[in-house]
Amino acid sequence: MKIYADNAATTRMSRRAIEAMIPYMEEVYGNPSSLYSIGQEAKDALESARETVAGCLGCSPGEIIFTSGGSEADNQALFSAASAGERKGKKHIISTAFEHHAVLHALKRLEKEGFEITLLDVSGSGVVSPKQVEEAIRPDTCLVTIMYANNEIGTIQPIAEIGRICREKGVTFHTDAVQAVGHVNINVKDENIDMLSLSAHKFHGPKGVGALYCRKGIPLLNLIEGGAQEGGKRGGTENVPGIMGLAAAMQEACDKIDESAAHITPLRDRLIEGLERIPHSILNGDCKKRLPGNVNFCFEAIEGESLLLLLDDKGISASSGSACTSGSLHASHVLLALGRAVEIAHGSLRLSIAEDITQEQVDYMIKAVDEVVAYLRSISPVWRDLQEGKREFILK
């Protein structure tokens, strides 16, 4: 059985998204900045895509700029808000300890440039409280940036409440919604969001294209200087096929958000219940306030990379927060922020399922993970020490 269970990393493109792109490579390949017909046709398509995206988010088309993806959108949002804050002498930014690196590393750079960064604690449930945000806001706070849903553990943050607080206090509010768009209903006006980042490949669109929503009146700084594209806020010829794929995928995902969630959520819960039966394991993040497709566990006394390789042998594509799988040899900052011990964070597994998941596949995954964990424990000296009482269990 082949199961792709890493939809938080990227998704399979939808047929509708692929078909939406093809004409803009083969026929309407003109540059949207050109005045002749196929240029203007491309321009019209681009603007219709902008309307689609704006419609899905509940904003106006002029508030959307297309980017190369979520990371670029995050960077532009953060550097823009910081620069606007600095002009007013406000150099304090609030975020959380478990943001995506696109946000955390941008914040690190701002810190070096003299900004003060407050990272809110998310330990325990992986959900920040609106009260924490309210208490952290100071007169010199220029930006609150909090992710909509976490990329590793899928926990959904109380964005509407945080948005209301920020609006009341007059602080710009950005949310990295890369994991949430197309999976949960979002309305930027109702939720008082000033800036929002999204990425097409997380909802069955193409890679290398995303968007930044920026509320009218919030100043934007260019990351890429160039021509007058995107209202002069992002130079470079627009990725028209990619943008058409993004819009088609977003419309499709948003049209069936409730239907998809109704299908995926019970299967996610079945998967969680199945994995919870493995002794000395724990679900990471709140069990209710989480994305419909996210399951993330830690298993004591095993290491994540071995787990992934053996699951791959069984046809399952998954991911882990283990140091060995990170490329940086550091355990997941998200799991550490939750309060997991480092040795436990090494034994983590993320299964992120999509609309095509079946109960049969869920049951197969439960059995496969159970077998692989049991095998790896059987050859683990840590497991032996735990069994012989030479080491204390961390996960009861």
Partner 1 sequence: MALYNEKVMDHFRNPRNVGALEDANGVGESGNAVCGDIMKVYLKIEDGIVKDVGFETFGCGSAIASSSMATELIKGKPVEEALELSNKAVVEALEGLPLRKVHCSILAEEAIKAALEDYYRKQGLPIPQKILDYKPAVEEDH
Interface with partner 1 by CB under 8 A: which residues?
301-306, 309-310, 313, 322-325, 329, 331, 342-343, 346, 379-384
Instruction: Give the helix/strand (H/E) hosting 143.
Output: strand 141-145
Assign 278 to helix, strand or coil: coil
Q: Which residue, 67 or 325, is less far from partner 1 as judged by CB?
A: 325
**Using CA atoms, how far apart are residues 308 and 318, in angstroms rounded to an integer?**
6
CB of 317 to partner 1, least distance (A): 13
Active site residue 254: no
CB of 371 to partner 1, least distance (A): 14
CB of 336 to partner 1, least distance (A): 11
Q: Which residue, 25 or 379, is less far from partner 1 as judged by CB?
A: 379
**Using CA atoms, how far apart are residues 149 and 182, in angstroms rounded to an integer?**
12
Q: Which residue, 25 or 342, is less far from partner 1 as judged by CB?
A: 342
**Using CA atoms, how far apart are residues 356 and 264, in angstroms rounded to an integer?**
9
Radius of gyration (C-alpha) of the chain in whole angstroms: 22
Number of Cβ within 10 Å of residue 75's Cβ equals: 20
CB of 395 to partner 1, least distance (A): 13
CB of 354 to partner 1, least distance (A): 24
Burial of 217 (0-12, 13-18, 19+ CB in 10 A): exposed
Residue 230's alpha-carbon distances to 9, 223, 235, 260, 329, in angstroms, are 27, 12, 7, 32, 39
| Catalytic residue chosen out of the listed positions 56, 59, 254, 324 | 324
Return the C-alpha torsion angle 321, 322, 324, 329, nearest 10.
80
Q: Which residue, 223 or 310, is less far from partner 1 as judged by CB?
A: 310
Q: Which residue, 142 or 318, is less far from partner 1 as judged by CB?
A: 318
